[in-house]
Structure 1
Amino acid sequence: MGSCIICGKSVEGRICDLHEEDALFEFRGSRADQLSVDRYYRGSVDGFAEFGVFVDIGDSVTGLLHRSELDQRLDSLDWEPGDTVYVQVKNVRDNGNVDLGWSIRQSEREFRGVLVDDPDIGHSVLLENEDDEDDEDDEAADSEADSATESESQGESESSADDDSGSSDSDSTANAGSVSRAGDADRVEGTAAVGGNDGGSNTAVVTESDDETDEGQTAEAVAAAIGDLEGHVGSDVQLEGEVVGIRQTSGPTVFELQDETGTVDCAAFVEAGVRAYPEVEEDDYVRLMGEVRERRGELQVETETLEVLEADEREAVEQRLADALDDEARPDTVDPLAEDTAVAALSDALVEAATHIRKAVLTDRPVIVRHANTADGYLAGSALERATLPLVTDQHRRADAKYHYFDRRPIEGGVYDMDDATKDTTTMLDNRERHEEKLPLFVFVAAGGTRESLDGFDLLNVYGAPTVVVDDIDVDGAVVDTVDAVVSPSAETVSETTATSLAANVAAHVNDDVRDDLQHLPAVSFWENIPEPYAAAASEAGYDESAVSELREAVALEAHYQSYEDKRELITDLVFGDDEEDVGGLAGHIAEQFREKVDEEVATAEANLDYRTVDGVDIAVLDTDAFTHQYEFPPESLLLDELYREVRDESDAVLGISTDTMYVRADGDVDLHELVREVSERVPEGGVATRSVREGTIRYLAGERPAVLDATLDVLADEL
């Protein structure tokens, strides 16, 4: 019998079933059928195929990591033949083929122990090869441990303590109750020295004399910042910060401590695989004292004492770290992309939104951009994506970090309803549970600005997920009170800007290095009457009036066909021309399809308009069930926009009416919520409700369609 290297439970071997998935195995067998399904193994890249990557497990077995198992495109992997990778054995087939799964942990230090999987002898703790200097340290540690053990076995009768030596009974008691520093062999993360079949370990016990100065006085720990530890190697330091991670290895417990200057691993040892300081949890603020050591080129603190801070002490450290993070995340002042009165009035809001995004990246919090599935929404979301991805890449070493720490998800109608919120919440909680991922920052662009999204925001708030809204409408006051930051124009300037204009300026604050890439986006987002400063900026970036129009139409078409998936590569090619020598080539090709489809639908709709005159107000009504191709391009919202632009010289408003949905298009200052309230009063049994203010849509019961239409015509005539 042995003990589990993680929890200490008595088991046959060195790890229990519960923690087997937390350990990494090195395969020493010679046949595929000797592998254990569900275990994680160290492998090396053997080669690539169209359908995946071949990975060698040990010296004699090769498995296939199918491309469907990867969390990124096969051609985006930066692996080379011979590179070390970490995979999970999913299945061993009867014919000897091995199916492998992707491991999100792509570093040995992310596992909680390293074991040998040898079919002949079972598995045991794998010891890393140390250099000569490390071997000497290990021998010294072994010698010290043996001496300490021998001394302890002699009992009190052979104690060497006396009044002049500086030791006493009280000293011995203090040492017995403290957490001992581990010997060098035990300080190697994820490994432990093995004493024999009983699972014992070579643990060096440090006596008080180790910490005494030449004068016989105990050396005082020096208060230090983590970022300055290189200058304190070999010295005792006192650190204060937040515990952002805890890993139980086969040797010490490793606390990942973070302050305003950096992060460092702090190893605390009781005995092999036993949790040190079990009262300490992640997110605790602590005061830690220990010796700074350099191990394999990385700094590590050998923990002597660890104290959880409470009340005022915790608050002081927490506030200090928060202030430092805000200072680091807050962007330097940058100029707006072009002269825009709406943007100029929102300078502070732009900086606040950018600070939230930059802070999320700095603290390893994923950023999720939720935007309307329209041209404006896609352009705005792409601007933030362009600015944030380079920061994510700089923050994380993993090649696939941009897929783990940033995502862009379109939503229908710009309304964040319970369906969307439930999916997001389920995903984020799953990622937190399975991968210890922080809850993401949600940034809503051209979406979420009206009260229809409150239920969705409330669900996110239950779990404390931070939220930012960037919208070109006058955001509802209830939404402002619910989310963490808002960028929204005043009611007077709503018609003068777009969500893309606001988001592109936020993006320039997030990452000033990409501002040249964003110059043309605001112009593209205006369907008509492009402000001269933005038109000039687009021209300077190489987009003339024709190119701007083509890009807008191409993005609008792809926004429909991409449904609710971000497909960042295609949109990036369209919006920024990254993989196109001819920037206008792809956009021009797709824009031709847009114009053909839209012109045909508009012509059909225009020929079937039912013109009504109510109290001198001319309103055109289109039966969208009868005279549009439903579920095909263009969608009703875009078609009604185009149709209104065509006929507004003849009509004051256009209504598109289907079985249970109505689209309202009008030049006047029509408050959709007020319109719905009045229609509902006139048709109380109609179930009339706002669906999407951004799209100008309302819902009602199909059986009350005629009554709802008549009431809407009357209310619109009064308002216009």
Structure 2
Amino acid sequence: MSENTAGDSGTRGDSSPEPDADAAEGAADDRPTVYDLAPDCTLEDTDVDALYHAEVNGVVDYGVFVDLSDAVSGLVHESNLDGDYAVGDRLIVRLTEVKENGDVAFDDVDPDDYRTETVAHEPAVSRVRGLAPGDEATVEGEVVQAKQTGGPTIFAVADASGVVSCAAFESAGVRAYPEVEVGDMVHVSGTIESREDALQLEVDSLKRLPDGRAAEARERFEAALDERAEPADVDPLVEWEAFEPIHEDLRDLARLLRRTVLAGRPIRVRHHADGDGMCAAIPVQLAVENFVREVHGDPDAPRHLFKRLPSKAPYYEMEDVTRDLNFALEGRARHGQKLPFLLMLDNGSTEEDVPAYENLAHYDIPIAAVDHHHPDPEAVEPLLDAHVNPYLHGEDYRVTTGMMCVELARLIDPSLTEELEHVPAVAGLSDRSKAEAMDDYVALAEGAGYDESDLLDIGEALDYAAHWLRYSEGKTLVNDALNVGCDDEERHEELVEFLSERAERDVERQLDAVDDHVEHERLASGAHLYRIDLDEYAHRFTYPAPGKTTGELHDEKVTETGDPVITIGYGPDFCVLRSDGVRLDIPNMVTELNEELPEAGVSGGGHLVVGSIKFVKGRRSEVIEALVEKMAGAEIDEALSSTIALDD
């Protein structure tokens, strides 16, 4: 029995005087309690020998029938009556027996003084996970979505075990239970039915829990979410001491993402549109979508609750955040969803990301970033709920985002392990990583049936697809190219062959166009410096884009010389930087250029050996000459050289 609120003291019958207030207060602990059942109370809310307020609903020769609530009725036998009653009379009864057949017996009682307590119905609460068609169920949970259709109102209610869709009908297109809002803790009761391969609760009643009970329910809910959000206990794919502290950060993020799904919040992913970015985003997408499907029991749920989009810029541009924010606000208005959790992959760690993050902060949108670019933690971390970056643990860009996100995906859904074994090697080769674990990753991929040429072709195919997809997700195409979530091995092989061959053809065509126009000089440090005006001499608006063109030219020169090499590819208001065997520290160069040439509007960043910079068009000459001067004084560092591997 649940006692909710104490009522006024009194005696039976309207003609009986109320007890003296002072006497009642002094005798409060000694007076018997008479319970007043709420209309929806059942026998489960009663106790034998307890006293109840009742109302006569029928008079027969052998006694009177009384109601305690809509569902609790019984007989006061004539032998146990103290007076004469008519239908509608109120009396106090003692529940004496609940018989095996369900009949309930009462005695008529007449306490001199008593206190009243109201009893709210405490239904037997069912877990969402385990519901089946035909069940009569009551679910306690949080409303995570309230969507009005042309027919019923659809409420999504989450408990720690899952999320169930609840259909409540007032009239066609009219909002049912308008007092219930997203974020409320509720009890929802009804019958479970199957709708389009998903479970749906047909609502009989939906009630917001009062403040005290809501707080208790939320405390239970949050504790249960924490327990189920725990990530899988899996070790990294390869043994790598440098990765251990990063793996702990990934565990924390996996816990946060699982909890986000359990709480019914959508997730939106932004990732760099290149091979490493794709290798980061696709495994995470597959893992999160699997978990969404499990939690919601609806094969279509991921389509509404997960969205992945590439970003062309090496930071979160205002254009992208405006699109994302508008999409989120429209989703809340049209579909009653919570605002999403934003996950930045292979992007999102630098000061250039701050304006976009500050825009999202107006709406309290949570953000996490997994990135291997040189970070500005003091700038971004006040705006992030989680930040995973190898630089935060004394490592660097050689730990690629794809390597990290494969482990993140496995922590969310370890069943994907076998399908993802080749992906870290693809990510590392795509990003030209010189990580000490690269040999182990390549060996792991070989064990899964991919030789190094296969891995390089997959990376090239991903880059080529990403270029033409531009701002589109291209889920099936990219999954097939990476062979993750692909259901046709033969199609994967044919697609990779087609895309990689076209990419190779277009790269050769581009290099043929620029080769005769490359400027070369030897710096005092002994490094070779190559420059190319991409705006004048490269094919535009086609593959490869300026960044890829600069990278391919750079790799060609590294192979030719075997020496430290710096390559600059520039256009009217940008330049792309690559180095091999030279420690450029591009983020620091950007900071210095802003101090030296404040009118040039320099922005950008990257790693120690690769990056991109934007500037005011009319200041291009000063910016590039200042860059070259800094490069001339940059330290030669064999640890950053690929010629070591070439010599081997």
Q: Please give the TM-score of this superposition, normalised by the length of structure 1.
A: 0.63
Distance 1:702 1:580 in 2: 48
Question: What secondary structure, in the 3-state scheme, does the structure 2 residue paired with 1:524 have?
Answer: helix
Q: Is the 8 A contact 1:225 1:259 kept in 2?
A: no
Q: Is the 8 A contact 1:691 1:699 kept in 2?
A: no
Which residue of structure 1 lines up, in the alignment, with residue 211 of structure 2? 309
Taking structure 1 as reference, are residues 393 and 318 closer, same or farther at Cα in structure 2, changes over 3 Å only? closer
Q: Decide which moves more: 534-543 or 640-649.
A: 640-649
Taking structure 1 as reference, are residues 493 and 521 closer, same or farther at Cα in structure 2, changes over 3 Å only? same
Matching residue's letter, 2:538: T
Distance 2:39 2:557 in 1: 81
Deviation of 1:226 (Å): 3.2
Taking structure 1 as reference, are residues 269 and 394 closer, same or farther at Cα in structure 2, changes over 3 Å only? closer
Match of 1:561 among 463, 468, 478: 468
Is 1:663 the counterpart of 2:524? The answer is no
Taking structure 1 as reference, are residues 628 and 293 closer, same or farther at Cα in structure 2, changes over 3 Å only? closer
Is 1:211 the counterpart of 2:72? The answer is yes
Is 1:706 the counterpart of 2:621? The answer is yes
Is 1:502 the counterpart of 2:401? The answer is no
Q: Is the 8 A contact 2:594 2:600 kept in 1?
A: yes
Deviation of 1:412 (Å): 0.9
Q: Decide which moves more: 236-245 or 428-437.
A: 236-245
Deviation of 1:259 (Å): 4.1
Question: What secondary structure, in the 3-state scheme, does the structure 2 residue paired with 1:630 have?
Answer: coil
Deviation of 1:522 (Å): 0.8
Is 1:628 the counterpart of 2:628? The answer is no
Which residue of structure 2 lines up, in the alignment, with residue 538 of structure 1? 445
**Structure 2 unaligned spans of 5+:** 1-10, 19-34, 43-65, 74-94, 96-103, 108-117, 195-199, 636-648
Deviation of 1:615 (Å): 4.1
Taking structure 1 as reference, are residues 455 and 612 closer, same or farther at Cα in structure 2, changes over 3 Å only? same
Distance 2:403 2:285 in 1: 15
Is 1:346 the counterpart of 2:259? The answer is no
Is 1:386 the counterpart of 2:286? The answer is yes
Which residue of structure 1 lines up, in the alignment, with residue 390 of structure 2? 489
- Greater relative contact order: 1 or 2 (C-alpha under 8 angstroms, separation 6 or more)? 2
Distance 1:336 1:450 in 2: 27
Which residue of structure 1 lines up, in the alignment, with residue 521 of structure 2? 612
Matching of residues 221-620 of structure 1 within 5 Å: 221-222=121-122, 224-227=124-127, 241-244=141-144, 258-260=158-160, 280-285=180-185, 307-309=209-211, 315-396=215-296, 398-477=298-377, 478-490=379-391, 492-527=394-429, 528=432, 529=434, 531-576=438-483, 577-581=486-490, 583-616=492-525, 618-620=528-530
Taking structure 1 as reference, are residues 372 and 263 closer, same or farther at Cα in structure 2, changes over 3 Å only? closer
Taking structure 1 as reference, are residues 342 and 606 closer, same or farther at Cα in structure 2, changes over 3 Å only? farther
Deviation of 1:633 (Å): 0.9
Q: Is the 8 A contact 2:182 2:338 kept in 1?
A: no
Question: What secondary structure, in the 3-state scheme, does the structure 2 residue paired with 1:384 have?
Answer: helix
Deviation of 1:578 (Å): 2.6
Matching residue's letter, 1:699: K
Matching residue's letter, 1:625: D
Kindly provide the CA deviation profile for residues 656-687 of structure 1, in whole angstroms up to 9, marking residues without a partner as x: 22111112222433232321232334434323
Q: Is the 8 A contact 1:179 1:270 kept in 2?
A: no
Distance 2:217 2:264 in 1: 20
Deviation of 1:598 (Å): 1.4
Distance 1:450 1:414 in 2: 9
Matching residue's letter, 1:514: L
Question: What secondary structure, in the 3-state scheme, does the structure 2 residue paired with 1:345 have?
Answer: helix
Match of 2:567 among 625, 638, 654: 654
Question: What secondary structure, in the 3-state scheme, does the structure 1 residue paired with 2:237 have?
Answer: coil
Distance 2:563 2:127 in 1: 69
Distance 2:509 2:209 in 1: 73
Q: Decide which moves more: 611-620 or 542-551.
A: 611-620
Question: What secondary structure, in the 3-state scheme, does the structure 2 residue paired with 1:387 have?
Answer: helix
Distance 1:525 1:515 in 2: 16
Question: What secondary structure, in the 3-state scheme, does the structure 1 residue paired with 2:583 have?
Answer: coil
Distance 2:171 2:69 in 1: 19
Deviation of 1:411 (Å): 0.3
Matching residue's letter, 1:581: E
Distance 1:589 1:641 in 2: 22
Deviation of 1:219 (Å): 7.9
Is 1:675 the counterpart of 2:589? The answer is yes
Q: Tell me how large the CA RMSD over aligned residues is.
A: 4.4
Taking structure 1 as reference, are residues 429 and 692 closer, same or farther at Cα in structure 2, changes over 3 Å only? farther
Q: Is the 8 A contact 1:381 1:445 kept in 2?
A: yes
**Structure 1 unaligned spans of 5+:** 1-161, 183-204
Kindly provide the CA deviation profile for residues 525-581 of structure 1, in whole angstroms up to 9, marking residues without a partner as x: 223457111011101111011211111111111111111101111111111153242
Kindly provide the CA deviation profile for residues 53-75 of structure 1, in whole angstroms up to 9, marking residues without a partner as x: xxxxxxxxxxxxxxxxxxxxxxx
Question: What secondary structure, in the 3-state scheme, does the structure 1 residue paired with 2:391 have?
Answer: coil
Matching residue's letter, 1:664: L
Question: What secondary structure, in the 3-state scheme, does the structure 2 residue paired with 1:594 have?
Answer: helix
Question: What secondary structure, in the 3-state scheme, does the structure 1 residue paired with 2:308 have?
Answer: strand
Deviation of 1:256 (Å): 6.8
Which residue of structure 2 lines up, in the alignment, with residue 697 of structure 1? 612
Which residue of structure 2 lines up, in the alignment, with residue 187 of structure 1? none
Q: Is the 8 A contact 1:222 1:237 kept in 2?
A: no
Matching residue's letter, 2:506: K
Distance 1:588 1:656 in 2: 29
Q: Is the 8 A contact 2:142 2:184 kept in 1?
A: yes
Matching residue's letter, 1:509: L
Distance 1:381 1:350 in 2: 14
Q: Is the 8 A contact 2:144 2:338 kept in 1?
A: no
Deviation of 1:247 (Å): 8.3
Which residue of structure 2 lines up, in the alignment, with residue 40 of structure 1? none
Aligned identity (percent) is 29
Q: Decide which moves more: 675-684 or 239-248.
A: 239-248
Taking structure 1 as reference, are residues 265 and 364 closer, same or farther at Cα in structure 2, changes over 3 Å only? closer
Matching residue's letter, 1:624: L
